[in-house]
A and B are shown apart, each in its own frame.
Chain A
Amino acid sequence: MELHFCSGRHWLDVNLPTLPEWYSRPIPAHLMPESRAGRRVTLAVRRAMVAFSKVLARELISHPPESWLSGIEPRTKIVGVLILVITATLLQELWPLLALLALALTFAVIAKLAVKRIVHIWLGIPLFSLAIVAPATLNLVTNGPAVLILCHFAPGSTLGPWALPEALVITQTGLVVAGRIVLRSLACVTLMLVLVTTTEPSSLLRALRNLGMPRAFGMVLTMSHRYLAVLLRAAEELHLAKLSRSIMAGSLRREQRWVATGVGMLFRRTHRLAQEVNLAMLSRGYDGDLQVNTRDGLRTTDWAWLGAVSLLSAAFVAAEYLI
């Protein structure tokens, strides 16, 4: 449609949009959704994205619960936890390792860590560790007094070039080795969990930079942390935009094709954002030699934490020799 209107002294031509004829027709019956088969795939993608988004929001944005541990200066906290982790790798006996695990759990309680979260992690670690150390419990790998006979082999049996023993047994020494590895991994993971849940990610990254992590590496980590949520939101928007225009549920193959296209789109957006960030850095004086924040001073409580952790570690190692 062409209209004429007056603008100041002149008449101008304006083309007004006219809706096409098909736009006012009802949706054809063959385009109406019938099957729910493909919808399950879409729903699964949507649920996975929402769950991932929630986890990220919790991990990236949440503040640590107020506790004595959250008040410790991040650098000293990292050093303290590192000392305890090194101690855990040095300990060979089970009792000192159990004591160290008890200490890690005490820290978790002080840090007000949710029991559900500890249990969730603890359920995964023993299973994973056991899968790795299971062969070490057998007399094929670790010799020692038999605890449980699993099966007997025929005399003179071989496995390739290796001669097999009379029976396949779980040995006491093997169990100690397995227990040591499982206890060690439990203690280390609990300590790390305490560290990351009592320190804000930004403070943790700053502390790592101040402890000597290469500046460029620190900046990359900082930016990854900063833009992860932005990119996830972009991915979610892509998915929602597609969902809002989907009349019929697609097949698995079509969904897979869409996901591949979405990844490509996201990569382009990431690239554009990276270019913009680079320009913003240059604009504010970045010349390739990154300058970072100077260090803050340590307080008495920080020194006390370091001293206590060092003493406890020394006590664990000493206990090992005494036993």
Chain B
Amino acid sequence: MTEAVLEARDISYCYTDGVPALRQVSFCVEQGECVVILGANASGKSTLLHLLDGLYFPTKGSILVLGVELTEETVETPPFSREFRSQVGFLFQNADAQLFCNTVAEELSFGPLQLRLDSGEIEQRVDGILELFGISHLRERSPQTLSGGEKKKVALASVMVTGPTMLLLDEPTGGLDPRSQRWLVELIKELQTADKTLVIATHDLSIVEEIAGRVLVLSEDGRLVAQGPPTTILDNTELLLSANLIHEHVHAHGEVSHRHPHGHYLGHRHPHQSHEA
């Protein structure tokens, strides 16, 4: 049996103003697994990733990463704090918040520097990651001069440069053009081949079946309403509708108009079951 590297035990989280974001969520992630968290806007996906990265702490329940419970004390105390930060990488939804240094090169060396790697190793890693992402030409550019797609690439590169075994990606395809999106999907598949553990929060259904080993669905009130293989989840129209992941749609074929659920996964797929003249 494969070992669970990440475990959420009945976690709930409320914002400081008392508004609940997550309610009694429990799941496990195994080594090398790619888990996609699906949910509409404000369903708590980003909050859940912040909790898994030890940036927020649950109001109730507990989170275990690599067998250690994440608390303010464990996350801030060496040697676990350093091991945890080097093992777990988090791509934020807002790339602008993640890119706070003056140049791309400085951005990429920030993480390794904080982990006290030696300068030769840092240089080697930065060069390697720039080449892998095809962004060597951006090396001395300021992040504020980059396009949205370039910012996303640099942000992901800055996370991967520390060599984490577990990656938490918050809306990784957000703001990417189709070619960059395809490139990212291929990269995620490559990471899976390299036995990296991935937890990806998204509401982009088009990439789910291709990358996910398992899918978790969060309802709009922050509950885990389903988990299972991607095909099972994506075929459950009622579930996707109730979680606000697909929408109802009206269109006409000549004299006949259809009303049916509609989502952009696997191309432009929808059943034609209701007909009105």
Contacts and interface: CB of A to CB of B under 8 A. Distances in A.
Are A and B physically bound partners? yes
Interface of A: 3, 5-8, 10, 12, 14, 60-61, 201-202, 205-206, 222-223, 225-227, 229-230, 273, 276-277, 279-287, 290-294
A295 to B, nearest CB: 10
Interface in B232-277: 237-238, 241, 248, 259-261, 271, 273-274
A294 B121 CA distance: 12
B248 A8 contact: no
Contacts of B109: 293
Given A6-B273, A283-B85, A14 B106 contact: no
Given A283-B55, A285-B115, A292-B113, A61 B142 contact: yes
B119 A294 contact: yes
Contact of B106 (A206, A282, A287): A206
A286 B261 contact: no
B133 interface: no
B114 A286 contact: yes
A293 B113 contact: yes
Nearest to A221: B102
A273 B102 contact: no
A286 B162 CA distance: 13
Nearest to B272: A6
A54 to B, nearest CB: 15
B233 to A, nearest CB: 14
B100 A230 contact: no
Contacts of B116: 291
Interface residues of B, number: 46
Given A12-B241, A285-B114, A6 B81 contact: no
B96 interface: yes
Contacts of B92: 276, 279-280, 283
B145 interface: yes
Contact of A285 (B111, B248, B259): B111
Interface string B84-104: 011001101010111111110
8 contacts: A5-B274, A10-B238, A61-B145, A226-B99, A276-B94, A284-B85, A285-B82, A292-B113
A284 B271 CA distance: 45
Given A206-B106, A284-B162, 17 more contacts: A5-B248, A7-B238, A7-B260, A8-B271, A206-B102, A225-B102, A226-B142, A226-B144, A229-B144, A277-B100, A280-B92, A280-B97, A284-B85, A285-B85, A285-B86, A285-B162, A287-B114
Interface in B119-148: 119, 142-145
A61 B85 CA distance: 32
B103 A291 contact: no
Contacts of A290: 114
A177 to B, nearest CB: 42
Contacts of A7: 237-238, 241, 260-261
B166 interface: no
Contacts of B99: 226
A283 B260 contact: no
Given A202-B106, A287-B114, A291-B116, A281 B100 contact: yes
A5 B116 CA distance: 60
